[in-house]
Every structure is written in structure tokens, then in C-alpha cells.
Chain A
Amino acid sequence: MGKTIGIDLGTTLSVVAIIEGGEPKVIPNTEGERLTPSIVAIDKKGERLVGLLAKRQAITNPENTIFSIKRLMGRKFKDTEVQNDIKRLPYKIVEAPNGDAKVVIGGREYSPAEVSAMILQKLRTDAETYLGEKVTDAVITVPAYFNDSQRQATKDAGTIAGLNVLRIINEPTASALAYGMDKKNEQTIAVYDFGGGTFDISILELGEGTFQVKSTNGDTHLGGDDIDQVIMDWLCEEFKKEVGIDLRQDRMALQRLKDAAEKAKKELSTVGQTDINLPFITADASGPKHMNITLTKAKLEQLAMPLIERSIEPCRRALKDANLTTAQINDVIFVGGQTRMPKIQDVVRQFFGREPIKSINPDEAVALGAAIQGGVLKGDIREVLLLDVTPLTLGIETLGGIATPLIPRNTTIPTSKSQIFSTASDNQPSVEIHVLQGERPMSTDNRTLGRFVLDGILPAPRGVPQVEVTFDIDANGILNVRAQDKGTGKEQKITITASSGLSKDEVEKMAREAQAHAADDAKKKEEIESRNEADSMVYTVEKLLREQGDKIPADIKGEVEGKIAAVRSALQGNDATIIKSATQDLSQAIQKIGTAAYGQGQQTPPQGGEQPGGQADEGKKGGQEGTVEGEFREI
């Protein structure tokens, strides 16, 4: 049984995706790119080129390079759109005996379905190369406004390409699937698709497990390329003001400007301003000229606003056609790379009165959704949906009240994780396992799931006993926590059912709180860790002085004792900086012991170096390999 691919067969770019491990994933083509130009050519040697290679030679071979074939799919030669395309396209379009439009490549006539099949074939072959196995089935997307003839032509293209077309689905529906909309109840969804060249808005209704397109609208001449153009125009104007040269007359300069404008536009999605720095952009009699202009986010938004506002009128019309108001829209989802622009997100949020969902890569949402549909039809998705994830981090409390994680949030279950811990005090007879759920670094800020005690630990210096703590979550979400003393073999455990956890709203609240308090929590944790580290170092050094004191020169011993006193004094207070500084001084002082010992020809290395308990890495680094010094409180 071969694999199933999902294909977004676009006018200018196509994308292919597959379900892998239950998740949709875009497959790169053999050129290493995730987007494949929807271009086909026959070169002068009669060789067929598809994708990037066809695009690169287009200028040398305009009559035999076919692009935007999607515009001709399922259309008659006499259709108005086809007649308009004939006027502007460089390749030949002819009428077939049945009235269909056909294109001529290399002296031969091809139907649009045959040309699209060449693109689909490349996508299929590239997918097979990537996966190392056959691809037999496909789900292909089409615009929601495609009629039966156009849909049939797309299906024929798939068949010609050797694919078993499981389904033709609408592009907005595919993107809704990618966003997991099918898992919700009755919903009305607006799909706002602002791509490179066109804008589309679709209103979908989800009911009884199927999507219905209520209305579509758009602007076929509105896209991200237009925003690049307004930036370019502005740069040319600014440059002309400054230098007196019109770059619009210089083809190579325009090419550099286009690339720079697109790059700047993308950067301004995340930063407040960017420099367009183009040395040697042109030259005149007085020498070379350079462009170095700063474009701010505010200026970009000002330049782009008329274009962004143009997208709202089709949204109004689509709502009117669907007989709906913005209040009746449950969710808005974004498709198309241009929706990454913050101003577009603001405008859409204001118009629809709700936060749009944008968690999926908008360039790939349609292909991902097509792959999901393929997965559902073939049964791949159904089986994997049985797996769940743990919504919040699970861990235990360790020395100083720190929450030490064992299973991070969003880990797929069933899963199991073990870690070795030790004791905090000498001769500690028992440890308390305090099971926690939450994202905060301090245990008091997380939720207690349960507690139990493991006793019978043999007397030993702190950090020596090994207690293995195992967290095991089964497929039903039941958590079993077990603690075992590796020395005695004694163990205790506790079972926590899912119902003793948190609701979805509580989960989201905890995740939000963790984010809001991140800085404060990090500071608090740092204070505790520096305290733990100081305490650990004092213990180690005092032990060293007791055991090796007679071998240490008196002056060094005195200095070290003084530094120990300073650390103890710092630990009386709460200032992490002072504690760290005192710990650092003590650390430097004890190095003199080693220096003196080696200098005097001593054979025995200082024992302090064997116990790296000085590191405050969540209080975890222990004296033995694999031992984690996340110590327990003595009860």
C-alpha cells in the first residue's frame, strides 16, 4: 500500500505534504525547497522541465514556458477570462475541437490538465525520493469557487500523473482541517487568505462533521507582491530626493530593490525598523551611488494600509452573501504568507472582533490540511488520534522548594521517565515525594497531585543514597509515581488518576500565569539555587577541613574558615548576589589548598573536587555519574 500525499496545486506555487507519525508535514522538493513553482517548460533540446528549473529558463524560452495554467483549467477557449489571458500571456493558447482551451508547447498541443499533471508528477516523484517509498494516492485542493468542470480537470490531472485522487477538496476547507477545526462542534469559520498575488475570503460552516462553503469573495489583484511594490516605489522616491536619480529606469537596481523590499517587509514583522542598505546601487558621472535608508514599521504600515483596507470590503461582501454578521463568526484562520504582517492581524482582529488563529505556517496550511484529509480517508489519522499529551509539566519538589520536572508538558503518552535523587542531610532516614503539576519553578506555585514517603534509607552522608523516582503515565492518562531506594531495594508508589488533575481552562490559566511570572520566578529560583549551592559548598569544605585539616597550611585553613563564616553570614540574609559572591570567594580560597598540596608534593588530591555539589543547576548535579542532587527535605 503506497503513501497518500496532500497537494496544494497553486497558480504560482505548489506544496506537497504527507502524514508522518500522525502529523502532517511538508515535503521539500529535490531542489530542497518547500514551495515548487507551478511552471512547466519544454526546452530547446525537447527536455521537459518543471518547477524551479522551468522558472530559471523562462526568459530564454517564453513561448514554451507555461505558468499560471490553473487559470485555464476546465475552461473553454471562448471564455472571457481565457480571451483576456491570451492577450497578456507569452505562450500560445488554441481552441480544441471540443471548444476547450489548450496550450502549445514545443509544437504540440496540451490540455491544461496534462500540463498540471506534469507539475503533479514532479511533486509525486520528489515525495517518493524523499520518503523512499511509493506514493499512490492523493488529495488535491482547488479554490472554493471552482466549478464542476474545473474540479474534474484537476482530478483528471491527478489521474494522468498516475495518482489515485481520493478527493478534491476546497482550499479554505483544507486550511480549516490543518487548524483542527474539524474537532470542534458546529462552527462558522472565516478563512482569510492573503497570499503573494491574490486575496480570498471564505466563510465555512462546520456541521455534522462536514464543511460547507457558505460564500467566497476576494480580490484577484491584491497580494503581498503589491506591498513589496509600494515599498519599492517609496524607496525610489526617497533615493531620487536624496541623490537625484530615478532607479525605476535601472532594471538591475530594481531587481535588488525588489529583493530588499521583500526582505525588509518580512523583518518588520518582528522588529521596529530596518535598514535597506544597498551599496553601489547605481552610478553616474560623479561616481557610484549607495542607498542606505531606514524603514520603520510605522512607515511600512502607513504605506501598506490602503492595500490592507482593500481586503476588508470583500470580507463584508462575503458575510452579506452568507447572511451573517461578524458576531456570528466563531473563528478566523489565516492562510498565505502575508498574514504574518502584524498590521494585517490587527485589522482583521478589529473587523471580526476576535483573535485570529495563526498557529500553522500560513504558506503551508492548505497542503497540510489536504494531507490530513488524505490521512483521515486512509485511516492513518484515526489511529493516531488516540494518543494524548500531558498538558502540564509533572515533577517533584526538591531542596529549597524547587519544582524539578520529570515529564515536560506536551509529552506524548504513554511515557515513562526515571531520575535518581539523593538526600539533603547526613543520615536522612526517609524522603518525601511531593508530586507536582505545573510550569512554575517553585513548588508552592504548582498544583500538588499527591505525596508519599519512602523510609528505611540507611544512614549515609548526604548525597550518597540513590533514590530512583519513576513517573509512568499510561495511555489512559493514569500517573504512577514510584520511588525506590537502590541500596535497600525498598520502594513506595502512588497512583494518580486523570480526574485528580486540572480542567482545560485551568491548564491554560496555569500556562499563562507561568509566562506572566517567568522573570520573577527565574529570579526566585536563582536565589534558591545559589543558597543550595552555598550550603552544599560549606558542607563539602567543612568535611574536607575535618578530614584533611592537619595537612592544610594554617594560614590557608584560617582563610578558608573565614570564607566559610562569610558564606554562613550571607545565608542569614536573602540577597542572592551576596550569597553568590561569598560562595565564589570560598571556591577560590579552597583552590589554594590544592595549590599548596601539589606545591608541597602532596599525593592525595583534595576531596572537595570529587563532589561537584557546587553547581546550582536546579540543585541537580550530584557526586556520582547519573546521580541527580535534587535533594529531599527531611521529615
Chain B
Amino acid sequence: MTQDNTIMPDESHAEVSAETDTQTLNKIIEEAKAESEKNLAGWKRTQADLENLKKRFEQERSDIIAFGNSSLWKKLLPVIDDFDRAFGSLPPDIADNTWAKGIELIYQKLQGVMAAEGLRMIETTGKHFDPKLHDAYCQQEGPEGIVITEVEKGYLYKGEVLRPAKVTVGNGIENSGLKCDTDTDLTE
């Protein structure tokens, strides 16, 4: 592990006393020992880092396998939101139209795939506001701390929050007629 730093006693020291020779040699030995210990410690640390990296790599790999599709589903969520908006505003006069029915069937099929892949909607209306699951969009009149309306659906993917649900939260004030009591983005 040590390299080309072996110290050769200068030939001119041959005339120095035996005691000085012993001192010099002892010094050389001590320095070599210290270098050796330092290299061994460094080697062990590198080995340990490598082992820890391997463990973390395995964990990350199994996370990727388990949750590898989460970023794809995240990209698809706005498209799924658009479907919700479309069906949310379906004009009553074409609700029974066969073409519209066909599109609805397609959407149901998509929802089936989502469920099969482990996506679940986060429960909102009427539940206690929970920042782990909900993102407060604004406050409005209603029981304090209770989710009043859902502004945007939230989803769990295999038990982990994929996207929190955007919700309005009750402010504990009744009969104020307030839909959303603030227009400012508080957190810059």
C-alpha cells in the first residue's frame, strides 16, 4: 500500500554512531507503521462506503422496480384531470349520445387500468384536513379543519402519495358566504 517513499539511509551516515542509526531506523519504522495504519484505515473506510453504497443501490433498485412508473403516472394525471373536467361539464342534452357514451366507456377502462396498477384516489370531502394527503387551496366557510370541497383529485400510488389532493378547508365560520377567503399566495 505504501509506494515509493521508502527512505534509504544516506551512505554518508555510515560513520554516525550506532545509537543514531537505531534512532533513525526506529523513526523510519514508526513512520512506516503510521502510514500503513492510515492506508489500512482509508482502505477500510472505502470498503465500508462501497458496502453501504451497494446496500443503498439495492434499495433504490427495488424502489425503482416497485415505483418506477410513478413518474409516468404523475405525467398522466393532468390528462386524467382533463377527462374529469370533460365529464364534469357534460351537457345534459348529449349525455345519452352514443358517441359520448363510448368516450365514457374509454375513460372507465382507463380508470380500471389505474386501479389495477395501484392508483387510489385520496379521500377528501368531509375528512379532516391532513397535509400528508391534502394541499390546502383556500379556506371557506365550514367546520374548522374539515375538507369542504375537492378542487383537484389526489392519488396514492402503491400506498405512497403520488399527488396530494387540492382542497378547500373550513375556517370555522358559518354563514359568511365566502367561497375562498384569500387571493394571495402566502408562501411566495
Specify the chain A residue showing the minimal Cβ separation from B50.
A21
Contact with A along B118-139 (1 / 0, CB 8 A): 0000000000010110111111
Is B49 at the interface (CB under 8 A from chain A)? yes
Is A12 at the interface (CB under 8 A from chain B)? yes
Is A594 at the interface (CB under 8 A from chain B)? no
- Taking a contact as CB atoms under 8 Å apart, the answer to whether A60 and B136 are in contact is yes
- Taking a contact as CB atoms under 8 Å apart, the answer to whether B85 and A58 are in contact is no
Specify the chain B residue showing the minimal Cβ separation from A68.
B188
Q: Chain A interface secondary structure, helix, strand, loop or mixed?
A: mixed
B49–chain A nearest beta-carbon distance, Å? 5
* Residues in A whose Cβ lies below 8 Å from that of B171: 60
The CA of A43 and the CA of B151, in the complex, are separated in Å by: 22
From residue 35 to 60 of chain A, which have CB atoms closer than 8 A to chain B? Answer: 37, 39, 43-44, 49, 52-60
- Taking a contact as CB atoms under 8 Å apart, the answer to whether A279 and B85 are in contact is yes
Partner of A44, one of B53, B88, B145, B151: B145
- Taking a contact as CB atoms under 8 Å apart, the answer to whether A53 and B132 are in contact is yes
- Taking a contact as CB atoms under 8 Å apart, the answer to whether B186 and A67 are in contact is yes
Please tell me the number of chain B residues within 8 Å of chain A, measured between CB atoms. 37
Specify the chain A residue showing the minimal Cβ separation from B166.
A255
Is A558 at the interface (CB under 8 A from chain B)? no
Contact (A59, B137) CB under 8 Å given A53-B132, A54-B131, A252-B151 = yes
From residue 80 to 94 of chain B, which have CB atoms closer than 8 A to chain A? Answer: 82, 85-86, 88-89, 91
Is B187 at the interface (CB under 8 A from chain A)? yes
- Taking a contact as CB atoms under 8 Å apart, the answer to whether A21 and B53 are in contact is yes
B176–chain A nearest beta-carbon distance, Å? 15
* Residues in A whose Cβ lies below 8 Å from that of B82: 279-280
Partner of A251, one of B53, B161, B183: B183
- Taking a contact as CB atoms under 8 Å apart, the answer to whether B188 and A12 are in contact is yes
- Taking a contact as CB atoms under 8 Å apart, the answer to whether B131 and A280 are in contact is no
* Residues in B whose Cβ lies below 8 Å from that of A242: none
- Taking a contact as CB atoms under 8 Å apart, the answer to whether A57 and B131 are in contact is yes
Is B29 at the interface (CB under 8 A from chain A)? no
* Residues in B whose Cβ lies below 8 Å from that of A288: 85-86, 89
The CA of A287 and the CA of B91, in the complex, are separated in Å by: 8
* Residues in B whose Cβ lies below 8 Å from that of A279: 82, 85-86
- Taking a contact as CB atoms under 8 Å apart, the answer to whether A57 and B49 are in contact is no
B19–chain A nearest beta-carbon distance, Å? 36
Is A99 at the interface (CB under 8 A from chain B)? no
* Residues in A whose Cβ lies below 8 Å from that of B183: 251
The CA of A39 and the CA of B67, in the complex, are separated in Å by: 28
- Taking a contact as CB atoms under 8 Å apart, the answer to whether A55 and B180 are in contact is no
Partner of B131, one of A32, A49, A90, A255: A49
Is B9 at the interface (CB under 8 A from chain A)? no
* Residues in A whose Cβ lies below 8 Å from that of B164: 56
Specify the chain A residue showing the minimal Cβ separation from B137.
A59
* Residues in B whose Cβ lies below 8 Å from that of A53: 131-132
From residue 143 to 178 of chain B, which have CB atoms closer than 8 A to chain A? Answer: 144-145, 151, 160-161, 164, 169, 171
* Residues in A whose Cβ lies below 8 Å from that of B186: 58-59, 62, 65, 67, 90
B16–chain A nearest beta-carbon distance, Å? 34
- Taking a contact as CB atoms under 8 Å apart, the answer to whether B139 and A59 are in contact is yes
Of all A-B residue pairs in the complex, the 8 with the closest CB atoms, nearest first, are: A280-B85, A56-B131, A53-B131, A59-B136, A56-B135, A57-B131, A60-B136, A279-B82
